[in-house]
A and B are shown apart, each in its own frame.
Chain A
Amino acid sequence: MTAPMPPVLAVEGLSVEFRTARGVVRAVDDLSFTIGEGETVAIVGESGSGKSTAAMAMLRLIADPPGRIVAGSIRLDGQELLTLDDASLRRVRGRQIAMIFQDPMMALNPIYTIERQIGEVLRLHLGVGRAEAFAQTVELLRLVGVPAPEDRARQYPHNLSGGMRQRVMIAMALACRPRLLIADEPTTALDVTVQAQVLELIQELKTRLGMAVLLITHDLGVVAETAHRVIVMYTGGKVEEATAGQLFADPRHPYTQGLLQAAKWEESDGVELREIPGTVPSPFAMPTGCSFAPRCAAVVPRCQTDRPALTEILPGRPVRCFVAQGAAR
């Protein structure tokens, strides 16, 4: 075994809270993970699991108020991001960590040309002039497979299709060759046929540029195709982590098992609906014990009273579940 490379991103004990009129809600709870160079880590979970909040926290993009990172550490190549001043943070944003969002129509400014929006990043971080920025923009658009890049560069977002716009977003994110790319549901708003192309593009560019990728998704199909490691989140906390292979072959947390079964049904167009019963509990009425207990098929009495800790049941396989932990012993 070779000595492990230091991770590109190391997140430890990250907690994010939102102050609302009804009280304080913990959207991300004690989340820890790392991403190595050239690695794709996926965070999966239902809406409200805290996965998007976690992604936004990486760039400290959570609006304060109402949100606030209350604990933890986020280190990029060893540099702590949570203590950076605003100016230093802006040098990380867009340059070392770039982000692409779910809906490329909403994520691009409707009144500026593509050239202007990509060129802006280049001029800001690399200090290049207008002409050089245009040349590099065209190069980037070519890299992400936009046909006729010179013409497209001069157009506005509304002139492009959804898939093209997401390619533009990717080109914009890659403009400064970032160390980490965060993709928040990058294919959800796209046609099925375009989804595969965009995922393939991200994978290919990741390899070519040696980036780390953090993929936020609720789509297990996307995970299976792209991720090395998977973090499953539920009600703000990590409930299971595994390599993609392990997770799909041998899910240990009942929630993960439920997710996989629901996904299988989707795929096979089967006769029997296998959904996880119930809904995600309201953040204002969290169960005292395990937050998944009310929906869990394998629930035991202890789940109602105690909150399970995240424990490694096998090397590199932490699971937050009494039943899974008991079975492993």
Chain B
Amino acid sequence: MRQASLLFLVRRLVQVVPVVLAIAAVNFFLLRMAPGDVADILAGQMGHATLEFTQQLRREFGLDQPVYMQFFYYIGKLLTLDLGRSHLQQAPVIDLILDRLPATVILMLTSILIAIAVGIVLGVAAARREGRLADTLVSVTALVVYATPAFWLGLMLIVLFSIQLDLLPSGGMYQIGAGRTGLAHALDVAKHLVLPSVTLGLFYVAIYTRLMRASMLEVYGLEFITTARAKGLSETTIAWTHALRNALLPVVTLAGVQFGHLLGGSILVETVFAWPGLGRLVFDALLQRDLNLLLGILFVSSVVVVFANLAVDLIYGLLDPRIVHK
């Protein structure tokens, strides 16, 4: 059993390689289709955008080569986990990304955990009161939140909690210059994390609430719930043990699939809250045609998403004994 799971893990890890390479290839050609390149931008910034100078830059960066040559060069480097250099920032792409990635991952994980926890509680509560006032309230609120754009919600939260009530910081990841360390620093980061993670998470709270409610109602219709009642178990025990674990499966599936989507949302929310994550990096790289950096970020995101999906598969096996990883 254990050995089978390990074998499954290894096989899945091997499968990750072609998937990630395929994504990298698509990214590469998509970005090459956009007009303009980094040489144009750089030459413009330096103030002498002569054709000769830009051509020289292109030669330097290898941009004068045919696209397919550039592609093989890029993939070759990728296979040795070399993401190349950012010509604009004069630094290795991997360093730039690793510098920013932790902040984004913290934001994403906090948001998804809030979303799943709150979504489960509200969804279960609504399902247990199907058709009653509490259920209607939860469902309608979820729909409204679902339809609210994250950037607007973020701004409104800043107005309310930072400006009006002065309870929470409006941006950044920690108080600059305060020089806190250890627990004090962690608490400071947590305080800064509240608004961005709520902004990013609320949309998913709405999704998981509705999904959880529907999934619970489906499980409530199954016969083993009647068996549980006939045994004399209380409705609370039935909901949180017999029904919940069965109802969780679709929610876990969706959480895995949505990880990429979450990353996109995270970039938007980071912009609103000046969160020092990948968001700003993507934005700049896009505007400045910093293709290597952009490709690097996309590559890292795809790896994150692929691993999130692998994690979901493993959690699935823990939740449902009928699923045996082979």
Hey, which bits of chain A sit against chain B, CB under 8 A?
Answer: 56, 59, 61, 65, 90-95, 98-99, 101, 103, 106-113, 120-121, 124-125, 156, 158, 169, 172
Contact = CB atoms under 8 A, between A and B. Distances in A.
A110 B231 contact: no
Nearest to B242: A109
Given A111-B245, A111-B319, A156-B322, A106 B224 contact: yes
A107 B224 contact: yes
A108 B230 contact: no
Given A90-B234, A94-B232, A110 B246 contact: yes
Contacts of A158: 321-322
A214 to B, nearest CB: 13
A21 to B, nearest CB: 13
Interface residues of B, number: 20
Contact of A95 (B228, B232, B245): B232
Contacts of B242: 109, 112
Contacts of B228: 109
A124 B223 contact: no
B233 A120 contact: yes
Nearest to B249: A111
Given A107-B227, A113-B321, 18 more contacts: A56-B226, A61-B230, A90-B233, A93-B229, A93-B231, A94-B231, A95-B232, A101-B227, A106-B222, A107-B224, A111-B245, A111-B321, A120-B233, A124-B232, A124-B233, A125-B232, A156-B322, A172-B231
Contacts, number: 70
A51 B230 CA distance: 17
A101 B228 CA distance: 12
Contacts of A56: 226
A90 B224 CA distance: 16
Chain B at the A interface: mostly helix, strand, loop or mixed?
helix
Nearest to A120: B231
Contact of B224 (A92, A98, A108): A108
B320 interface: yes
B223 to A, nearest CB: 4
A170 to B, nearest CB: 12
Contacts of B246: 109-111
Contact of A106 (B223, B229, B321): B223
A158 B323 CA distance: 11
A99 B230 contact: yes
A103 B223 contact: yes
30 contacts: A59-B229, A61-B226, A65-B131, A93-B230, A94-B231, A94-B233, A95-B232, A98-B230, A99-B227, A101-B223, A101-B227, A106-B222, A107-B224, A107-B226, A107-B227, A108-B224, A108-B227, A109-B227, A109-B228, A109-B246, A110-B320, A111-B245, A111-B246, A112-B242, A113-B321, A121-B232, A124-B231, A124-B233, A156-B321, A172-B227
Contacts of B233: 90, 94, 120, 124
Nearest to B223: A106
B230 A59 contact: yes
B269 to A, nearest CB: 36
Contacts of B222: 106
A94 B237 CA distance: 15
A124 B245 CA distance: 20
A90 B232 CA distance: 4
Interface string B131-150: 10000000000000000000
Contacts of A113: 321
Contact of A101 (B226, B245, B320): B226
Contacts of B224: 106-110
Given A103-B223, A106-B224, A93 B322 contact: no
Interface string B313-326: 00000011110000
Interface in B232-270: 232-234, 242, 245-246
Nearest to A58: B230
Nearest to A89: B232
B320 to A, nearest CB: 6
B324 to A, nearest CB: 10
Contacts of B321: 110-111, 113, 156, 158
Contacts of A172: 227, 231
Contacts of B234: 90
Nearest to B224: A109
Contacts of A98: 230
Contacts of A90: 232-234
B245 A121 contact: no
A95 B84 CA distance: 70
Contacts of A92: 232
